[in-house]
């Protein structure tokens, strides 16, 4: 079984007002021992990244995500904040850049694009034997990445406005010139040549700015699947990671069997991914089998059918199917956010629900805001 690990980007909010809190440097300074996890900065001071350890089983992955979110939230509490699994900001107002030389260069290079960029993704690293296998995997999983995005969608709001999208994080991130789906590479040599050509253009400042939906990691012997939103529900997150691993294993087996990658253009994939970003599982998705839009349920069923041998072999099929069916039937985090906002048109209610669903923390913590009583939504001690 291939090892797999996740990197989760979480928003940091004020524990009292639930508004974004620019505190990541203080948060990291106050963090206690994190064991195999690592807390680190991202572009903006209102977010923290949790880097989890490599795992072997889905049960281990769920425990690792739970522990990582708890550690991030515990550190945020020490500076008067909370860490919450929302993929875009619900409140209006621009974020604050982390005072790091690399981030300053990015801001100077990208202008307003960097100024507005406060998005939280979910990156799954899956072990590969070598870069040749990794590129073969990238060539074969690309048609299924829109389906993973739809299942993860958790970003309907953008600075206080309902965007109309299930994953507006994907739209905001797609403004970077190196973001989005890739063409079929065919070999590790071609992958390196095209990556270097982009770097020579001077548009991406370094290899970390090759923001492909899935890429070879520059740090680890892994394929990094980057297309998904951070999931509100941590159980959904663990299952998305399991799906990504099963996709990588299935693709590698098909490559070894001599099966060619699906012949789908990058332009088509952009359209498929736009649809997944727009509607999530609440609308039509494009079926990789037919290339036409159909209901989300049958497309997800196609994915599970493809991955069934690997998921069954890994002992994960039952759990994965149950959770995926739940997402299709009841919606992802995007629907949950909109339902929370509809109750009182208060962004704080969205944050409260996300904390209750996805942040393992101490019980009985409630929100206090000027002119209001206790929050209507209480947090659970355990989530998932």
Q: What is the pLDDT of residues 214-229, one digit of tens each?
A: 999 999 999 999 999 9
- Interstrand relation of 157-158 and 38-41 (parallel, antiparallel or unpaired): unpaired
Tokens 């040599």, residue located? 189
Sequence-ordered list of residues with C-beta below 8 angstroms from that of 220, at least 6 positions apart, any chain: 125
- What the block records as the tokens of 7 is 């990197």
pLDDT of residue 365: 38
Decide if 92 contacts 20 (C-beta within 8 A). Answer: no
The 3-state secondary structure of 89-109, one letter per residue: CCCCCCCCECCCHHHHHHHHH
pLDDT of residue 363: 41
- Interstrand relation of 161-162 and 157-158 (parallel, antiparallel or unpaired): antiparallel
**CA dihedral for 283, 286, 289, 292, sign (positive or negative):** positive
Rounded CA-CA distance 46/119 in Å is: 10
Q: Is 110 helix (H, G, I), strand (E, B) or coil?
A: helix
Of the candidates 47, 85, 63, 6, the one whose C-alpha atom is nearest the C-alpha of residue 352 is: 85
* Buried residues in 183-203 as b, exposed as e (16+ CB within 10 A): ebbeebeebeeebeebbeeee
The CB-side HSE value for 118 (13 A sphere, CA atoms) comes to 31
DSSP state of 167: B
What domains lie within the chain, and their CATH numbers?
4-358 (3.30.590.20)
Of the candidates 243, 215, 117, 210, the one whose C-alpha atom is nearest the C-alpha of residue 171 is: 117
Rounded CA-CA distance 125/6 in Å is: 6
Q: Residue 53 — φ and ψ, nearest 5°?
A: -80, 160
**CA dihedral for 262, 266, 269, 271, sign (positive or negative):** negative
Angle at 80 between CA 65 and CA 158, to 5 degrees: 65
pLDDT of residue 375: 30
pLDDT of residue 361: 59
Tokens 């991914």, residue located? 273
Rounded CA-CA distance 272/278 in Å is: 10
How many residues does this entry show for the chain? 384
Residue-by-residue pLDDT tens, the chain, 384 positions: 999 999 999 999 999 999 999 999 999 998 888 889 999 999 999 999 999 999 999 999 999 999 999 999 999 999 999 999 999 999 999 999 999 999 999 999 999 999 999 999 999 999 999 999 999 999 999 999 999 999 999 999 999 999 999 999 999 999 999 999 999 999 999 999 999 999 999 999 999 999 999 999 999 999 999 999 999 999 999 999 999 999 999 999 999 999 999 999 999 999 999 999 999 999 999 999 999 999 999 999 999 999 999 999 999 999 999 999 999 999 999 999 999 999 999 999 999 999 999 888 544 333 333 333 323 332 322 232
- What the block records as the tokens of 258 is 């001599």
Tokens 């497309």, residue located? 299
* Buried residues in 256-282 as b, exposed as e (16+ CB within 10 A): eeeeebbebeeeebebbbbbbbbbbbb
pLDDT digits (tens, 9 = 90+) for 22-78: 999 999 998 888 889 999 999 999 999 999 999 999 999 999 999 999 999 999 999
Rounded CA-CA distance 349/342 in Å is: 9
CA distances from 191 to 97, 129, 171, 183 (A): 32, 16, 25, 10
């Amino acid at each position: 079984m291939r090892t797999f690990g996740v990197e989760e980007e979480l928003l940091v909010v004020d524990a009292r007002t639930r508004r974004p809190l620019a505190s990541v440097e203080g948060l990291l300074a106050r963090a206690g021992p994190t064991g195999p996890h690592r807390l680190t900065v991202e572009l903006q001071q209102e977010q923290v990244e949790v880097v989890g350890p490599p795992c072997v089983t889905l049960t281990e992955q769920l425990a690792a995500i739970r522990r990582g979110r708890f550690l991030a939230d515990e550190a945020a509490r020490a500076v008067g904040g909370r860490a919450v699994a929302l993929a875009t900001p619900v409140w209006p107002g621009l974020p604050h850049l982390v005072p790091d030389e690399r981030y300053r260069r990015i801001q100077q290079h990208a202008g307003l694009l960097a100024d507005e960029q406060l998005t939280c993704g979910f990156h799954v690293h899956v072990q590969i034997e070598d870069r040749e296998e990794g590129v073969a995997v990238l060539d074969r999983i690309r048609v299924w990445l829109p389906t993973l995005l739809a299942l993860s969608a958790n970003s309907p709001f953008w600075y206080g406005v309902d965007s109309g999208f299930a994953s507006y994080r994907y739209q905001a991130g797609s403004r970077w010139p190196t973001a989005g789906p890739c063409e079929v590479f065919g070999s590790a040599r071609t992958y390196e040549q095209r990556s270097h050509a982009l770097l020579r253009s001077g548009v991406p400042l370094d290899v970390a700015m090759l923001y492909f939906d899935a890429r070879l990691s520059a740090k680890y012997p892994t394929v990094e699947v980057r297309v998904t939103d951070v999931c509100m529900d941590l159980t959904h997150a663990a299952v998305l990671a399991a799906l990504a691993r099963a996709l990588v294993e299935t693709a590698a087996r098909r490559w070894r069997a001599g099966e060619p990658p699906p012949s789908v253009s990058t332009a088509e994939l952009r359209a498929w991914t736009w649809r997944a970003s727009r509607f999530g599982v609440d609308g039509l998705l494009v079926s990789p089998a037919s290339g036409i839009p159909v209901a989300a349920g049958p497309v997800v069923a196609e994915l599970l059918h493809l991955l069934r041998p690997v998921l069954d072999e890994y002992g994960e099929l039952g759990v994965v199917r149950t959770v995926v069916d739940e997402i299709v039937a009841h919606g992802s985090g995007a629907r949950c956010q909109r339902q929370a906002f509809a109750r009182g048109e208060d962004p704080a209610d969205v944050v409260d629900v996300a904390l209750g669903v996805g942040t393992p923390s101490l019980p009985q913590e409630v929100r206090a805001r000027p002119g209001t009583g206790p929050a209507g939504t209480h947090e659970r001690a355990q989530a998932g």
